[in-house]
Structure 1
Amino acid sequence: MTWNWETKDWPNFTFELSFMQAELDKFFILAGELLGVSKVVSDEDKQILMLEIITNEALKTSEIEGEIFNRESVQSSIQRHFGLKSEGKKPNPAEFGIAEMMVDLYRSIDKSLSHELLFSWHSMLTNGRRDLVDIGRYRSSPEPMQVVSGHLGRPIVHFEGPPSSAVFGEMEKFMNWFRETSKSGSKPLHPVVRAGIAHLYFVSIHPFEDGNGRIARAIAEKALSEGLGYPSLISLSQSIEKSKKYYYSSLEKNNKHLEITDWLGYFANTVVQAQKRSIALVEFVLAKTRLYDGLNPKLNDRQRKVLERVFREGLDGFQGGLGLKNYLTITGTSRATATRDLQELVEMGALYKTGELKSTRYFLNFKN
């Protein structure tokens, strides 16, 4: 098996952009639309929006790798990193680390990509780990860096990275390429193309003992933000996680050669979907404000607490909708009071109801 880094022309990737030009054009159109709609959001809601996007990215980039974190813990940690008041659950070391890395990514748009920045991200990401030899530095093991699956006796090798002795030199080339392809570099690329190549290029080197996928996605988001000149405010990993199997199969398909048109096509579509979701999230925050402005004087403390909890779930809300059991758990009130509160929220137009009896569920009613 020959890997892309073993080919004669490595790392000169080749691609054809004509068939994905519509997606590339959409990137700047949607970026402008997102920036425009964000301007009508209050400062308080902008803060909520930023926290929501960074929290989603921290959670989803971890879920892609099979790690499931507590949403409130991660968001609480992000709030603390921004110097904001937080009453959420205390995060564990891994939750603290991913939150710290995502906040630093948001703040590091003006920083040049460097070995030191990547080492810093890796140290944050591996906070609390005791199973790794190389933390905050490139891998040093003489053993092959392989991505494998299957049974112990019959492993399937999906990818093998360059030997550890070659990693620093490969990363020097990567840093030079990243500088040259920036909008102020000697060989500028469209931000989406640059981000897509950066992601694939980085994971092909696989420079760290662990955490390469999460750092690759962070580098891609940095490339997009640099291309715009401000934080892209999208949750790229959330879009990737929705079709995780296709993401991994696309990476595997493109780690054996240098022609990567299909990878860039997939990546461009994923970025556009992430932008559309961010626009929907801004509209969600605006709808939340309108709903509260209209209903706040009529809500009792229990109803207000439940609505705030539902809104914290974001665009997707409670899986399967809000049920009576959820209401009881959140408020600690009686079943009769909870039933009456929910009926009042429906009559006010805050929620709409589906199903009957045990199947009854409630959803936010933005149409009103």
Structure 2
Amino acid sequence: MIHDFCVIGGGIVGLASAMKLLERRPGASLLLIEKEAGLGEHQTGHNSGVIHSGIYYAPGSLKADLCKRGAEATKTFCDAHGIKYEICGKHIVATSDLELRRLDALFERAGQNGIAAERIDAAELRRREPNISGLGAIFTPSTGIVDYRQVCAAMAKTITTAGGEIVTSTAVTGISEDGDVVTVRAGDRMWRARRLLACAGLQSDRIARMAGMAISHRIVPFRGEYFRLPDRLDKVVSTLIYPVPDPDLPFLGIHLTRMIDGSVTVGPNAVLGMAREKYRRFGFDPGDTGDWLFYPGLWKSLAKNWRSALVELRNSIWRGGYLAECRKYCPSLTLADLAPYPAGIRAQAVMADGALAHDFLFVENQRQLHVCNAPSPAATSGIPIGEMIADRLLGASLT
């Protein structure tokens, strides 16, 4: 049998793309392959669970458009499938004069992006969030929270109901093209498809190379460490509390996040990971570490961002430094309040010149499309990203 489509990767981007392919091409034969036993096991299932508004991104950019549309699409999807979510809003808090200036620019950007936002002063921030201190803030009322693993489960059900097949616990070991067919192998199993879509996240560069695609970047794992606050602090905030981001970095900084289960987490930081898929604190994989250790592009990037890298490393090693970042806007927190919580690992594409990829990175030929970088917030934007990818795949003739 020759499938119309084979999708590699069961995170939210792969699932949303598969779902949209079957919407656009009813009755098509589609196979989705995931190497883990479950879906959304890596980046999708190890994030803050936030439905972002899209305030951060350059006006008119693809990221801004996808995030704004994705937030609404996510809420609509959750409504249709009975998935609990909450629109709690977010305060982006400035704690220095530099951050106040950045906050002004961010507020202007919100207007350009058509994002509802309110600029408030320190007194109003304190009135709304008595445990939070800052010089001023932006409030985005449309920001929400959800469990993206539940979203993935609903997408999977939609795919199988539409006739798609999902195979888990299956690691791809070979990809080759023969004429108008792509052959995908997993050990002694084999499938053939007219078009291949790879949404492999942390393994995307390896899957692309396996398929014979020419790439000039490398996936570098950045470990994001979180802590959970004790139950008695579940009401410490009524909204999400974010710092003002550094516009030169792709990370949003340590924030206080209300989770859909009622708990509150703080994090994440961003430190180089010693393994792409090991979440314990000292998880190490020699192949993963060697990949970035001997990649010149990473060292060029570190040369540009070494101050930030050292601060992140210090705060990872020394919990007091991590706490200090939290106490900039929540001064009542103590070391005893920081309980362990599962880490996340972000797949960051680093280019040969040392640039961190901030936007989508696709590698493709007539039969294959590889999503090599799906920038944050890919979870929020998952549904319109899937639409974009489906349109891109269906734009090529299928024979």
The structure with the greater share of residues assigned to strand is: 2
The structure with the greater share of residues assigned to helix is: 1
Larger RCO, structures 1/2 (Cα 8 Å, 6+ apart): 2
Normalized against structure 2, the TM-score is what? 0.20
Bigger Cα Rg: 1
